[in-house]
């Protein structure tokens, strides 16, 4: 490995001069500078970022830590990346280890401290994991769950979105709307708030949201949703609407209904949540609650940058408004 002192020797100057030429932080005489650059070139020198980081006390890197690289998180990551780069830093994405006992947890403090800042998705995080996370470091929490007030937090208007989605179907004649992916017991995840909105819409319409209409979907996979809906159809449980707690779950429902010959939206209407890129293209087009991805990303980045500059402004808990995007899976209002 060729180091800075090699370059210094080759150019006949001190290390400091090499450093100054490379960082451009100090004026260096033209001829000296040329000699240094020539030496850099001829030796093929490259800075060692690890050393720079130790010395500088920062890494110019921000991490986004998510439970998976898919779906909602992929969409968010794609929006956050350019904003972070615009601030002269890098974004790296890490997945929270599936194996919670692992020593390699991304959530270990040393690991978090390797970054100038961290976006941490709280989905799939245990409460005690969150307790161990220090609020001294620049950290912004993302996700649909109650979190301690000592953190900045960006979340969606889940109740409102679910209410909109459900009311949309009720207004269009649906009377038995499933909460697909809902929680039967208590729960602290996104499904909890979204189920609340689903229930609110029912009450606002003078309907009782029957508990039988709440259908859990393990792990919120399309696969599990598919099987849950197939089972409902087999059991002859009547329903004419589906509020899917997210689009991934909605995909499973759409497939199940379509394969069983149930027509969308004439026999059953359906609304999802997240408005994933593909949802517009899944026949008959999935009506979905759009999270305002750009606003999520912009807000999260704003909060993190504020925290990274060392501001001790009070922590903010921001709720991003959502919007219903109407497509073929729900009826047109005449």
Partner DNA sequence: CTGTTAGCGCCTTCAG
Partner DNA sequence: CTGAAGGCGCTAACAG
42 binds DNA (CB under 7 A): no
How far apart are CB 95 and a copy of itself at their closest, in Å? 5
DSSP code string of 192-249? HHHHHHHHHHHHHTT----GGGEE--GGG-HHHHHHHHHHHHHHT---SEEEESSHHH
Name which position in 52, 95, 176, 302 contacts DNA (CB under 7 A): 52
How far apart are CB 108 and DNA at their closest, in Å? 13
Q: What share of the chain is helix, strand, coil (3-state, %, to 5)?
A: 45, 15, 40
Name which position in 2, 33, 43, 53 contacts a copy of itself (CB under 8 A): 53
Structure token digits, residue 187: 């729960």
110 binds a copy of itself (CB under 8 A): yes
104 binds DNA (CB under 7 A): no
85 binds a copy of itself (CB under 8 A): yes
How far apart are CB 308 and a copy of itself at their closest, in Å? 16
Applying CB under 7 A, the span of 43-51, 87-95, 120-128, 286-294 interacting with DNA comes to 43-51
Residue 183 vs 224, nearer CB to a copy of itself = 224
Let me know if 115 is exposed, middle or buried by CB neighbors in 10 A (0-12, 13-18, 19+).
buried
281 binds a copy of itself (CB under 8 A): yes
How far apart are CB 69 and DNA at their closest, in Å? 29
31 binds DNA (CB under 7 A): yes
Nearest to 158 by CA among 184, 183, 138, 128: 183
Residue 114 vs 233, nearer CB to DNA = 114
Nearest to 213 by CA among 260, 279, 169, 152: 169
Q: Given CA atoms 181, 184, 190, 194 in this order, what sign does their dihedral have?
A: positive
* Partner whose footprint covers residue 187, from a copy of itself, DNA, none (CB < 5 to 8 Å by kind): none
Tell me the helices (H) and strands (E) count for the chain, helix number first: 12, 12
Name which position in 25, 101, 332, 334 contacts DNA (CB under 7 A): 25
The CA distances from residue 297 to 60, 82, 244, 273, 291, in Å, are: 19, 10, 24, 17, 11
47 binds a copy of itself (CB under 8 A): yes
99 binds a copy of itself (CB under 8 A): yes
Per the document, the length of the chain is 334
Let me know if 241 is exposed, middle or buried by CB neighbors in 10 A (0-12, 13-18, 19+).
buried
Nearest to 221 by CA among 241, 248, 246: 248
278 binds DNA (CB under 7 A): no
Q: Are 184 and 163 in contact (CB under 8 A)?
A: no
Which residues are within 8 A (CB) of 213 and not within 5 positions of it... i.e. 6 or more apart?
176, 177, 178, 179, 239
Residue 116 vs 274, nearer CB to DNA = 116
Binding-site size for a copy of itself (CB under 8 A) equals 57
Residue 4 vs 170, nearer CB to a copy of itself = 4
The residues that touch a copy of itself, with contacts defined as CB under 8 A, are: 46-51, 53-54, 59, 63, 68-70, 73-74, 77-78, 81-82, 85, 88-95, 97-99, 102, 104, 106, 109-111, 113-114, 222, 226, 248, 251-252, 254-255, 258-259, 277-278, 280-285, 328
């Amino acid at each position: 490995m060729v180091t800075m002192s090699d370059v210094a020797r080759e150019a006949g100057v001190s290390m400091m001069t090499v450093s100054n030429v490379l960082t451009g932080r100090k004026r260096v005489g033209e001829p000296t500078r040329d000699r240094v650059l020539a030496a850099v070139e001829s030796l093929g020198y490259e800075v060692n970022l690890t050393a720079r980081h130790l010395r500088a006390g920062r890494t110019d890197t921000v991490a986004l830590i998510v439970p998976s690289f898919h779906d909602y998180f992929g969409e968010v990551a794609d929006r956050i990346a350019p904003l972070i780069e615009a601030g002269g830093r890098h974004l790296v994405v890490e997945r929270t280890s599936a194996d919670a006992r692992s020593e390699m947890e991304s959530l270990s403090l040393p690991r978090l401290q390797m970054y100038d800042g961290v976006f941490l998705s709280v989905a799939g995080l245990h409460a005690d994991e969150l307790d161990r996370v220090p609020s001294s470091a620049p950290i912004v929490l993302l996700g649909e769950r109650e979190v301690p007030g000592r953190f900045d937090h960006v979340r969606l208007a889940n109740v409102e979105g679910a209410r909109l989605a459900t009311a949309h179907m009720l207004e269009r004649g649906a009377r038995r709307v499933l909460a697909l992916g809902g929680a039967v017991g208590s729960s602290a995840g996104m499904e909890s708030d979204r189920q609340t909105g689903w229930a609110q819409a029912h009450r606002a319409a003078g309907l009782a949201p029957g508990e039988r209409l709440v259908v859990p979907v393990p792990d919120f996979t399309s696969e599990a949703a598919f099987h849950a809906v197939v089972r409902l159809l087999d059991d002859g449980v009547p329903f004419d609407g589906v509020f899917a707690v997210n689009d991934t779950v909605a995909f499973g429902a759409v497939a199940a209904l379509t394969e069983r010959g149930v027509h969308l939206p004439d026999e059953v209407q359906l609304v999802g949540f997240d408005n994933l890129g593909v949802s517009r293209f899944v026949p008959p087009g999935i009506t979905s609650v759009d999270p305002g991805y750009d606003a999520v990303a912009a807000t999260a980045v704003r909060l993190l940058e504020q925290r990274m500059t060392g501001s001790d402004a009070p922590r903010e808990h921001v709720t991003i408004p959502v919007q219903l995007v109407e497509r073929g899976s729900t009826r047109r209002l005449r």
